[in-house]
Amino acid sequence: MRLDPARFAGRIDGRTVELIVLRNEAIELAVCNHGARILQLIVPDRQGRAIDVVLGHDSLEQMLAGMASMGAFIGRFANRIANARFMLDGRQHLLPANDGPHCVHGGPGGSRHRVFDVIERRSDALELRLNLDSTQDGFPGDVELHLRYALEGSTLAISYRAAVSGAATPLSLTSHPFFNLDGGAEGGILDHELQIEADAFVPIGADRIALGHFEPVADTAFDFRRLRSLRSALAQGHPQLGIGPVPGFDHAFYTPGPRGVLRRQARLQGAASGVALEVWSDAPALQLYSSAPMDGSLPRHAGKAGRIYRSSAGVCLEPEQLPDAPNQPAFGDCIVRPGELLSGRIEYRLSRQA
């Protein structure tokens, strides 16, 4: 079941691409430095059997033909920026559009499409670096991003620091693994139970752009303040769930708190494996994506071990800034100026239920 590093060896844009495997006594992680992509996370289930709890790919070729966000580290701005433009200090900045007229996940020059430099590797930790140049991704300013993956007991800890130079820029950085805590072998994630520590969510329009305000989750399909299955939430229904060909979640939940202070944003529990996951970060929002639009089309949805990923095959829980924050005054300041440093940490804390 383990990925073969030889199948990920290659060169892209003159840079070496490889698969790097980290392990400790509790968990095992496989990361490709193209997109700093999490392709495999192996943990024990309640019977002590090793299972892989993220979706991914078997080879570099398959990965490049698949979903660009699957497992990737996202920057320089996670989620969507409306009409690929924003105003900053009295000047309009035009960005490359890659989602109709909008810019999503940093555009075509974003970190998910780039090869990270491997700076340091140990058996249980990896440090990567990527320079985001304004001439390559179309955003103002330059960013030097350092990213660290570390296995700390049963926790996968992701820490980052981004230094800005040249001009002020919006930054929203996150990790984008697709989780299936039952190992992906038996059905999808609709019977997973989810809890999100949020009293409000951000509604979106038909183009999935944030409408610029919050709505309370209480007594709606978006109320995950207590553990409930994704299936039961979808069955409850809500007009926001019908945006797209298949009902599902692609929404930010508002999880405010002090900057730099880790807090639990979500808990996810597998339906059969006994594996549980807690997401901790200091981000003001958590994007929930239930992968409803995945339709099994190839090569986009080809997965590991001959699997084909279909609707609700995995679920994403992405700590990030609020969507379209550069254009939404009510969503707070996401601008980092020259000489400033943005740092953050995401922890995926894994455990087993009896």
Q: Of 37, 95, 104, give the one whose Cα is nearest residue 66.
A: 37
Tell me which of 93, 176, 192, 251 is the catalytic residue. 176
44: preceding bond cis by omega (within 30 degrees):
no
pLDDT along the chain (354 residues), means of 10: 96 97 98 98 96 97 97 98 97 97 98 98 98 96 98 98 98 98 83 98 97 98 98 97 93 94 97 96 98 95 94 97 96 96 97 87
Tell me which of 113, 238, 278, 318 is the catalytic residue. 318
SS3 of residue 195 by DSSP: strand
Token readout for 266 is: 């979500």
Q: Is the dihedral of CA 183, 185, 188, 193 positive or negative?
A: negative
Is 176 catalytic? The answer is yes
> Under a CB-based contact definition with an 8 Å cutoff, are residues 282 and 343 in contact?
no
CATH architecture of 5-352: Distorted Sandwich (2.70)
- Annotate 246-287 with DSSP letters as a single string: S---EEEEE----TT--EEEEEEE-SSS-EEEEEEE--SEEE
The whole-angstrom separation of Cα 183 and Cα 59 is 19
pLDDT at 185: 56
pLDDT at 1: 81
| Domains of the chain by residue range | 5-352
Amino acid (1-letter code) at residue 308: I
Token readout for 349 is: 């804390």
Is 102 catalytic? The answer is no
Strands 169-170 and 335-336: antiparallel
Distances (CA, A) of 64 to 74, 259, 295, 303, 325: 16, 35, 18, 12, 29
Token readout for 343 is: 């740092």
> Under a CB-based contact definition with an 8 Å cutoff, are residues 39 and 57 in contact?
yes
What's the predicted TM-score (pTM) here? 0.97
